[in-house]
A and B are shown apart, each in its own frame.
Chain A
Protein backbone atom coordinates (compact mmCIF):
# COMPACT_ATOMS: atom_id res chain seq x y z
CA UNK A 1 0.00 0.00 0.00
CA UNK A 2 1.15 3.49 -0.73
CA UNK A 3 2.42 5.88 1.90
CA UNK A 4 -0.61 8.02 1.29
CA UNK A 5 -3.04 5.25 2.19
CA UNK A 6 -1.11 4.53 5.38
CA UNK A 7 -1.14 8.18 6.28
CA UNK A 8 -4.91 8.45 5.71
CA UNK A 9 -5.56 5.26 7.69
CA UNK A 10 -3.44 6.33 10.65
CA UNK A 11 -4.85 9.82 10.61
CA UNK A 12 -8.41 8.48 10.61
CA UNK A 13 -7.75 5.98 13.41
CA UNK A 14 -5.99 8.55 15.58
CA UNK A 15 -8.50 11.38 15.20
CA UNK A 16 -11.37 8.91 15.74
CA UNK A 17 -9.64 7.67 18.88
CA UNK A 18 -9.06 11.27 19.97
CA UNK A 19 -12.73 12.09 19.36
CA UNK A 20 -13.78 9.06 21.42
CA UNK A 21 -11.49 10.05 24.30
CA UNK A 22 -12.74 13.63 24.18
CA UNK A 23 -16.40 12.60 24.34
CA UNK A 24 -16.02 9.94 27.04
CA UNK A 25 -16.04 12.13 30.18
CA UNK A 26 -18.97 14.36 29.16
CA UNK A 27 -20.73 11.39 27.56
CA UNK A 28 -20.48 9.24 30.68
CA UNK A 29 -21.53 12.13 32.91
CA UNK A 30 -24.54 12.94 30.75
CA UNK A 31 -25.55 9.29 30.42
CA UNK A 32 -25.47 8.93 34.21
CA UNK A 33 -27.50 12.12 34.70
CA UNK A 34 -30.13 10.94 32.24
CA UNK A 35 -30.25 7.48 33.83
CA UNK A 36 -30.25 8.45 37.49
CA UNK A 37 -31.41 12.02 38.04
CA UNK A 38 -34.53 14.06 37.49
CA UNK A 39 -34.01 17.72 36.73
CA UNK A 40 -35.76 20.52 34.84
CA UNK A 41 -35.00 20.48 31.14
CA UNK A 42 -34.10 16.79 31.12
CA UNK A 43 -36.31 15.98 28.15
CA UNK A 44 -34.91 18.93 26.20
CA UNK A 45 -31.34 17.90 26.97
CA UNK A 46 -32.12 14.33 25.96
CA UNK A 47 -33.58 15.55 22.66
CA UNK A 48 -30.74 17.94 21.86
CA UNK A 49 -28.21 15.18 22.53
CA UNK A 50 -29.92 12.90 20.05
CA UNK A 51 -30.31 15.51 17.30
CA UNK A 52 -27.10 14.62 15.42
CA UNK A 53 -28.48 11.08 15.02
CA UNK A 54 -31.49 12.21 13.05
CA UNK A 55 -30.37 15.45 11.39
CA UNK A 56 -28.53 15.31 8.07
CA UNK A 57 -24.83 15.17 9.06
CA UNK A 58 -24.17 18.02 6.64
CA UNK A 59 -26.63 20.19 8.58
CA UNK A 60 -24.89 19.31 11.86
CA UNK A 61 -21.62 20.22 10.14
CA UNK A 62 -23.04 23.56 9.11
CA UNK A 63 -24.09 24.31 12.70
CA UNK A 64 -20.56 23.44 13.88
CA UNK A 65 -19.15 25.69 11.16
CA UNK A 66 -21.31 28.61 12.35
CA UNK A 67 -20.36 28.01 15.98
CA UNK A 68 -16.65 27.44 15.52
CA UNK A 69 -15.66 29.68 12.62
CA UNK A 70 -13.54 32.69 13.54
CA UNK A 71 -16.62 34.88 13.60
CA UNK A 72 -18.84 32.36 15.37
CA UNK A 73 -19.74 32.57 19.07
CA UNK A 74 -17.34 29.83 20.18
CA UNK A 75 -14.76 30.20 17.42
CA UNK A 76 -14.24 33.92 18.14
CA UNK A 77 -13.55 33.17 21.79
CA UNK A 78 -11.07 30.44 20.86
CA UNK A 79 -9.46 32.80 18.34
CA UNK A 80 -8.72 35.18 21.20
CA UNK A 81 -6.59 32.43 22.68
CA UNK A 82 -4.95 31.87 19.30
CA UNK A 83 -6.77 28.58 18.68
CA UNK A 84 -8.23 27.98 15.27
CA UNK A 85 -10.54 25.01 14.76
CA UNK A 86 -12.17 24.97 11.33
CA UNK A 87 -10.33 23.28 8.46
CA UNK A 88 -7.77 21.74 10.83
CA UNK A 89 -7.50 18.25 12.33
CA UNK A 90 -9.24 19.68 15.43
CA UNK A 91 -12.32 20.25 13.32
CA UNK A 92 -12.22 16.58 12.29
CA UNK A 93 -12.15 15.58 15.97
CA UNK A 94 -14.99 18.01 16.67
CA UNK A 95 -17.17 16.66 13.86
CA UNK A 96 -16.48 13.03 14.79
CA UNK A 97 -17.13 13.67 18.49
CA UNK A 98 -20.39 15.48 17.78
CA UNK A 99 -21.67 12.70 15.55
CA UNK A 100 -20.57 9.86 17.83
CA UNK A 101 -21.71 11.50 21.07
CA UNK A 102 -25.40 10.48 20.92
CA UNK A 103 -24.46 6.85 20.32
CA UNK A 104 -22.17 6.84 23.35
CA UNK A 105 -24.71 8.60 25.58
CA UNK A 106 -27.66 6.42 24.59
CA UNK A 107 -25.76 3.17 25.01
CA UNK A 108 -24.05 4.16 28.27
CA UNK A 109 -27.37 5.37 29.65
CA UNK A 110 -28.87 1.91 29.13
CA UNK A 111 -25.84 0.49 30.91
CA UNK A 112 -26.35 2.74 33.93
CA UNK A 113 -30.07 2.02 34.01
CA UNK A 114 -29.32 -1.69 34.24
CA UNK A 115 -27.16 -1.29 37.34
CA UNK A 116 -29.33 -2.10 40.36
CA UNK A 117 -29.69 0.95 42.59
CA UNK A 118 -29.51 -1.43 45.57
CA UNK A 119 -25.79 -2.03 44.96
CA UNK A 120 -25.26 1.71 45.15
CA UNK A 121 -27.33 1.91 48.32
CA UNK A 122 -25.31 -0.91 49.82
CA UNK A 123 -22.08 0.98 49.08
CA UNK A 124 -23.56 4.06 50.75
CA UNK A 125 -24.43 2.12 53.92
CA UNK A 126 -20.78 1.02 53.96
CA UNK A 127 -19.73 4.66 54.14
CA UNK A 128 -19.03 5.46 50.49
CA UNK A 129 -19.76 8.97 49.25
CA UNK A 130 -21.38 9.63 45.85
CA UNK A 131 -18.09 9.80 43.89
CA UNK A 132 -16.76 6.61 45.42
CA UNK A 133 -20.07 4.87 44.76
CA UNK A 134 -19.90 5.95 41.13
CA UNK A 135 -16.30 4.94 40.46
CA UNK A 136 -16.24 1.71 42.47
CA UNK A 137 -19.75 0.36 41.91
CA UNK A 138 -21.84 2.08 39.22
CA UNK A 139 -19.19 2.55 36.53
CA UNK A 140 -17.56 -0.90 36.88
CA UNK A 141 -20.97 -2.60 36.76
CA UNK A 142 -21.90 -0.62 33.65
CA UNK A 143 -18.41 -0.84 32.14
CA UNK A 144 -19.20 -3.34 29.43
CA UNK A 145 -22.10 -1.33 28.05
CA UNK A 146 -20.20 1.95 28.34
CA UNK A 147 -17.32 0.36 26.44
CA UNK A 148 -19.69 -0.96 23.77
CA UNK A 149 -21.09 2.57 23.45
CA UNK A 150 -17.60 4.01 23.10
CA UNK A 151 -16.80 1.48 20.40
CA UNK A 152 -20.01 2.31 18.58
CA UNK A 153 -19.14 6.01 18.73
CA UNK A 154 -15.61 5.25 17.55
CA UNK A 155 -16.96 3.28 14.58
CA UNK A 156 -19.33 6.08 13.77
CA UNK A 157 -16.41 8.52 13.95
CA UNK A 158 -14.35 6.42 11.52
CA UNK A 159 -17.10 6.62 8.93
CA UNK A 160 -17.98 10.27 9.53
CA UNK A 161 -18.35 12.22 6.29
CA UNK A 162 -21.04 14.92 6.10
CA UNK A 163 -20.22 16.98 9.19
CA UNK A 164 -16.48 16.60 8.64
CA UNK A 165 -16.49 17.91 5.10
CA UNK A 166 -18.44 20.98 6.19
CA UNK A 167 -16.28 21.97 9.11
CA UNK A 168 -12.89 20.49 8.19
CA UNK A 169 -12.94 20.16 4.43
CA UNK A 170 -10.98 17.39 2.72
CA UNK A 171 -7.43 18.70 2.72
CA UNK A 172 -4.93 15.98 1.73
CA UNK A 173 -2.45 15.31 4.49
CA UNK A 174 -4.29 17.59 6.94
CA UNK A 175 -7.99 16.78 7.33
CA UNK A 176 -8.62 13.99 4.81
CA UNK A 177 -10.01 10.87 6.48
CA UNK A 178 -10.80 7.49 4.93
CA UNK A 179 -14.39 8.40 4.13
CA UNK A 180 -13.41 11.73 2.62
CA UNK A 181 -10.59 10.14 0.65
CA UNK A 182 -12.86 7.44 -0.82
CA UNK A 183 -15.18 10.15 -2.05
CA UNK A 184 -12.40 12.41 -3.38
CA UNK A 185 -10.53 9.61 -5.16
CA UNK A 186 -13.70 8.25 -6.76
CA UNK A 187 -14.69 11.72 -7.87
CA UNK A 188 -11.48 12.21 -9.82
CA UNK A 189 -11.54 8.68 -11.23
CA UNK A 190 -8.81 7.11 -9.06
CA UNK A 191 -10.78 3.90 -8.76
CA UNK A 192 -7.88 1.68 -7.72
CA UNK A 193 -6.94 4.04 -4.88
CA UNK A 194 -10.59 4.23 -3.85
CA UNK A 195 -10.85 0.44 -3.84
CA UNK A 196 -7.78 0.14 -1.59
CA UNK A 197 -9.23 2.68 0.83
CA UNK A 198 -12.49 0.76 0.74
CA UNK A 199 -10.61 -2.41 1.67
CA UNK A 200 -9.03 -0.69 4.66
CA UNK A 201 -12.45 0.56 5.78
CA UNK A 202 -13.87 -2.96 5.60
CA UNK A 203 -11.02 -4.35 7.71
CA UNK A 204 -11.47 -1.65 10.39
CA UNK A 205 -15.23 -2.14 10.45
CA UNK A 206 -14.78 -5.91 10.70
CA UNK A 207 -12.45 -5.63 13.70
CA UNK A 208 -14.75 -3.11 15.41
CA UNK A 209 -17.80 -5.33 15.01
CA UNK A 210 -15.88 -8.38 16.22
CA UNK A 211 -14.77 -6.57 19.39
CA UNK A 212 -18.25 -5.19 19.93
CA UNK A 213 -19.77 -8.67 19.63
CA UNK A 214 -17.20 -10.09 22.01
CA UNK A 215 -18.12 -7.42 24.54
CA UNK A 216 -21.83 -8.06 24.23
CA UNK A 217 -21.70 -11.85 24.28
CA UNK A 218 -19.25 -12.34 27.11
CA UNK A 219 -20.87 -14.18 30.01
CA UNK A 220 -21.84 -11.92 32.92
CA UNK A 221 -19.65 -13.65 35.51
CA UNK A 222 -16.64 -13.31 33.20
CA UNK A 223 -17.43 -9.66 32.81
CA UNK A 224 -17.35 -9.11 36.54
CA UNK A 225 -13.82 -8.59 37.68
Chain B
Protein backbone atom coordinates (compact mmCIF):
# COMPACT_ATOMS: atom_id res chain seq x y z
CA UNK B 1 0.00 0.00 0.00
CA UNK B 2 1.48 3.30 -0.99
CA UNK B 3 2.44 5.56 1.88
CA UNK B 4 3.50 9.19 1.69
CA UNK B 5 6.84 9.31 3.47
CA UNK B 6 8.27 12.70 4.31
CA UNK B 7 11.99 12.58 5.00
CA UNK B 8 13.05 16.16 5.49
CA UNK B 9 15.80 16.45 8.06
CA UNK B 10 19.39 17.23 8.90
CA UNK B 11 21.29 14.78 11.07
CA UNK B 12 24.72 15.52 12.45
CA UNK B 13 26.91 12.83 13.98
CA UNK B 14 30.42 13.88 14.78
CA UNK B 15 31.85 14.97 11.46
CA UNK B 16 29.14 13.26 9.44
CA UNK B 17 26.29 15.35 8.09
CA UNK B 18 23.20 13.79 6.58
CA UNK B 19 20.79 15.98 4.69
CA UNK B 20 17.68 14.69 3.05
CA UNK B 21 14.67 16.61 1.73
CA UNK B 22 12.23 14.23 0.10
CA UNK B 23 8.56 13.41 0.08
CA UNK B 24 7.97 10.05 -1.55
CA UNK B 25 4.75 8.17 -2.12
CA UNK B 26 5.64 4.51 -2.39
CA UNK B 27 4.95 0.97 -1.20
CA UNK B 28 8.63 0.07 -1.16
CA UNK B 29 11.45 2.57 -1.12
CA UNK B 30 15.07 1.52 -1.49
CA UNK B 31 17.97 3.48 -0.07
CA UNK B 32 20.98 2.72 -2.21
CA UNK B 33 24.57 3.82 -2.16
CA UNK B 34 28.00 2.75 -0.96
CA UNK B 35 28.62 1.93 2.69
CA UNK B 36 29.06 5.11 4.69
CA UNK B 37 26.53 6.90 2.50
CA UNK B 38 24.10 7.24 5.41
CA UNK B 39 21.56 4.51 4.64
CA UNK B 40 21.51 3.05 8.14
CA UNK B 41 21.41 6.54 9.64
CA UNK B 42 18.24 7.32 7.68
CA UNK B 43 16.58 4.11 8.89
CA UNK B 44 17.57 4.67 12.51
CA UNK B 45 16.40 8.27 12.39
CA UNK B 46 12.99 7.16 11.12
CA UNK B 47 12.88 4.52 13.88
CA UNK B 48 13.63 7.22 16.45
CA UNK B 49 17.01 5.83 17.48
CA UNK B 50 18.87 8.90 16.23
CA UNK B 51 17.71 12.43 16.70
CA UNK B 52 17.93 14.88 13.80
CA UNK B 53 19.17 18.40 14.36
CA UNK B 54 16.14 19.82 12.59
CA UNK B 55 13.44 18.99 10.11
CA UNK B 56 10.39 16.79 9.87
CA UNK B 57 9.61 13.10 9.45
CA UNK B 58 6.07 12.07 8.56
CA UNK B 59 4.33 8.88 7.57
CA UNK B 60 1.13 9.85 5.81
CA UNK B 61 -0.26 12.54 8.08
CA UNK B 62 1.37 11.11 11.21
CA UNK B 63 4.22 13.30 12.44
CA UNK B 64 7.06 11.31 14.00
CA UNK B 65 9.44 14.21 14.33
CA UNK B 66 9.12 17.91 13.82
CA UNK B 67 11.62 20.38 15.18
CA UNK B 68 9.33 23.28 14.29
CA UNK B 69 6.45 21.83 16.29
CA UNK B 70 8.59 20.35 19.04
CA UNK B 71 7.52 16.77 18.29
CA UNK B 72 9.87 13.83 18.79
CA UNK B 73 7.97 10.60 19.32
CA UNK B 74 9.96 8.01 21.28
CA UNK B 75 10.69 4.78 19.35
CA UNK B 76 7.99 2.85 21.22
CA UNK B 77 5.29 5.23 19.96
CA UNK B 78 6.40 5.36 16.34
CA UNK B 79 4.93 2.03 15.22
CA UNK B 80 7.86 1.53 12.90
CA UNK B 81 9.27 -1.98 12.59
CA UNK B 82 13.04 -2.18 12.32
CA UNK B 83 15.02 -5.18 11.13
CA UNK B 84 18.71 -4.34 11.48
CA UNK B 85 21.48 -5.97 9.53
CA UNK B 86 22.35 -8.39 12.34
CA UNK B 87 18.64 -9.11 13.11
CA UNK B 88 19.35 -8.45 16.79
CA UNK B 89 17.10 -11.18 18.13
CA UNK B 90 16.97 -11.30 21.92
CA UNK B 91 19.49 -14.05 22.75
CA UNK B 92 17.86 -15.00 26.06
CA UNK B 93 14.46 -15.77 24.54
CA UNK B 94 13.37 -18.54 22.22
CA UNK B 95 11.88 -17.86 18.79
CA UNK B 96 8.31 -17.68 20.07
CA UNK B 97 9.06 -15.13 22.78
CA UNK B 98 11.06 -13.07 20.32
CA UNK B 99 8.24 -13.01 17.80
CA UNK B 100 5.58 -12.20 20.40
CA UNK B 101 7.66 -9.55 22.15
CA UNK B 102 5.96 -6.63 20.47
CA UNK B 103 2.70 -8.37 19.54
CA UNK B 104 -0.22 -6.06 20.10
CA UNK B 105 -3.55 -7.21 21.34
CA UNK B 106 -6.24 -6.34 18.85
CA UNK B 107 -5.52 -5.27 15.31
CA UNK B 108 -2.47 -7.49 15.12
CA UNK B 109 -1.76 -9.96 12.37
CA UNK B 110 -2.57 -13.53 13.35
CA UNK B 111 0.59 -15.33 14.42
CA UNK B 112 -0.24 -18.35 12.28
CA UNK B 113 -0.41 -16.28 9.15
CA UNK B 114 2.95 -14.61 9.79
CA UNK B 115 4.59 -17.94 10.61
CA UNK B 116 3.16 -19.55 7.48
CA UNK B 117 4.08 -16.66 5.22
CA UNK B 118 7.69 -16.63 6.41
CA UNK B 119 7.83 -20.43 6.71
CA UNK B 120 9.14 -20.41 10.25
CA UNK B 121 6.43 -22.38 12.06
CA UNK B 122 8.78 -25.34 12.66
CA UNK B 123 11.32 -23.04 14.34
CA UNK B 124 8.95 -21.65 16.93
CA UNK B 125 10.42 -23.47 19.94
CA UNK B 126 14.06 -23.19 18.91
CA UNK B 127 16.69 -21.19 20.72
CA UNK B 128 18.16 -18.24 18.89
CA UNK B 129 21.65 -19.74 18.94
CA UNK B 130 20.35 -22.68 16.86
CA UNK B 131 19.13 -20.59 13.91
CA UNK B 132 20.87 -20.07 10.59
CA UNK B 133 21.42 -16.57 9.23
CA UNK B 134 18.39 -16.78 6.95
CA UNK B 135 16.19 -18.12 9.73
CA UNK B 136 17.26 -15.29 12.01
CA UNK B 137 16.33 -12.77 9.37
CA UNK B 138 12.86 -14.24 8.93
CA UNK B 139 12.28 -14.46 12.68
CA UNK B 140 13.32 -10.79 12.98
CA UNK B 141 10.87 -9.95 10.18
CA UNK B 142 8.11 -11.84 11.99
CA UNK B 143 8.92 -10.05 15.23
CA UNK B 144 8.69 -6.67 13.53
CA UNK B 145 5.45 -7.59 11.71
CA UNK B 146 3.73 -8.85 14.86
CA UNK B 147 4.04 -5.40 16.39
CA UNK B 148 1.73 -4.19 13.56
CA UNK B 149 3.95 -1.38 12.34
CA UNK B 150 2.78 1.16 9.81
CA UNK B 151 6.16 0.97 8.09
CA UNK B 152 8.91 -1.64 7.95
CA UNK B 153 12.59 -0.66 7.89
CA UNK B 154 15.06 -3.22 6.57
CA UNK B 155 18.80 -2.72 6.75
CA UNK B 156 20.81 -4.68 4.19
CA UNK B 157 18.58 -7.78 4.29
CA UNK B 158 21.06 -9.73 2.17
CA UNK B 159 24.26 -8.98 3.99
CA UNK B 160 23.98 -11.44 6.88
CA UNK B 161 23.19 -14.31 4.54
CA UNK B 162 25.33 -16.87 2.88
CA UNK B 163 25.92 -15.74 -0.75
CA UNK B 164 24.34 -18.88 -2.25
CA UNK B 165 21.21 -18.48 -0.11
CA UNK B 166 20.83 -14.72 -0.28
CA UNK B 167 18.06 -14.60 -2.80
CA UNK B 168 15.78 -16.79 -0.75
CA UNK B 169 14.78 -13.81 1.37
CA UNK B 170 13.42 -11.89 -1.64
CA UNK B 171 10.11 -13.75 -2.08
CA UNK B 172 9.33 -13.29 1.61
CA UNK B 173 9.83 -9.55 1.29
CA UNK B 174 7.67 -9.49 -1.83
CA UNK B 175 4.91 -11.29 0.07
CA UNK B 176 5.11 -8.79 2.92
CA UNK B 177 4.87 -5.99 0.38
CA UNK B 178 2.09 -7.48 -1.75
CA UNK B 179 0.02 -9.69 0.58
CA UNK B 180 0.26 -7.71 3.80
CA UNK B 181 0.50 -4.43 1.87
CA UNK B 182 3.06 -3.29 4.38
CA UNK B 183 5.06 -0.26 3.21
CA UNK B 184 8.81 -0.61 3.59
CA UNK B 185 12.08 1.23 3.35
CA UNK B 186 14.95 -1.02 2.51
CA UNK B 187 18.65 -0.16 2.56
CA UNK B 188 20.81 -2.13 0.17
CA UNK B 189 23.77 -1.76 -2.09
CA UNK B 190 22.72 -4.66 -4.30
CA UNK B 191 21.13 -3.37 -7.56
CA UNK B 192 19.42 -6.63 -8.50
CA UNK B 193 17.87 -6.95 -5.06
CA UNK B 194 16.63 -3.37 -5.15
CA UNK B 195 15.01 -3.94 -8.56
CA UNK B 196 13.24 -7.03 -7.23
CA UNK B 197 11.83 -5.43 -4.11
CA UNK B 198 11.56 -1.65 -4.45
CA UNK B 199 9.45 0.55 -6.66
CA UNK B 200 11.45 3.70 -6.02
CA UNK B 201 15.07 4.18 -5.10
CA UNK B 202 16.84 7.03 -3.41
CA UNK B 203 20.55 7.13 -3.99
CA UNK B 204 22.73 8.47 -1.21
CA UNK B 205 26.37 9.40 -1.15
CA UNK B 206 28.25 11.00 1.73
CA UNK B 207 25.03 11.94 3.45
CA UNK B 208 23.38 13.55 0.43
CA UNK B 209 20.74 12.49 -2.06
CA UNK B 210 22.42 12.11 -5.43
CA UNK B 211 19.68 10.34 -7.34
CA UNK B 212 16.00 9.49 -7.20
CA UNK B 213 13.84 7.36 -9.47
CA UNK B 214 12.84 3.91 -10.56
CA UNK B 215 15.43 1.37 -9.41
CA UNK B 216 16.24 0.27 -12.93
CA UNK B 217 17.09 3.80 -14.00
CA UNK B 218 19.59 4.55 -11.26
CA UNK B 219 23.22 3.98 -11.80
CA UNK B 220 23.89 1.82 -8.81
CA UNK B 221 27.47 0.93 -9.47
CA UNK B 222 29.32 1.22 -6.17
Contacts and interface: CB of A to CB of B under 8 A. Distances in A.
Sort chain B's interface into a size bin. 20 to 34
B74 A118 contact: no
A118 B91 contact: no
Interface in B178-200: none
Contact of B84 (A118, A127, A136): A118
B55 interface: no
B93 A127 contact: no
B47 interface: yes
Given A224-B128, A224-B129, A123 B92 contact: no
B88 A118 contact: yes
A221 B129 contact: yes
B127 A224 contact: yes
A225 B92 contact: yes
Interface string A86-124: 000000000000000000000000000000001101111
B136 interface: no
B59 interface: no
A141 interface: yes
B102 A128 contact: yes
A140 interface: yes
Given A122-B88, A128-B76, 16 more contacts: A118-B88, A119-B90, A121-B47, A121-B75, A122-B82, A125-B81, A125-B82, A126-B144, A127-B102, A129-B76, A137-B90, A140-B92, A224-B127, A224-B129, A225-B92, A225-B93
Top 10 closest pairs, chain A to chain B, by CB: A126-B102, A124-B75, A224-B92, A221-B129, A224-B91, A125-B75, A125-B82, A140-B92, A127-B102, A124-B76
A224 B144 CA distance: 21
B78 to A, nearest CB: 7
21 contacts: A118-B88, A119-B88, A122-B90, A123-B90, A124-B48, A124-B76, A125-B76, A125-B78, A125-B82, A126-B76, A126-B81, A126-B102, A126-B143, A127-B147, A128-B76, A129-B76, A137-B90, A140-B92, A221-B127, A223-B92, A224-B92
Contacts of A126: 76, 81, 101-102, 143-144, 147
Interface in B130-145: 143-144
A131 to B, nearest CB: 11
Interface in A195-221: 220-221
Interface in B91-126: 91-94, 101-102, 104
Interface residues of A, number: 20
Interface string A8-28: 000000000000000000000
B49 interface: yes
Contacts of B37: none
Contacts of A128: 76, 101-102
Contacts of B94: 225
A118 B85 CA distance: 12
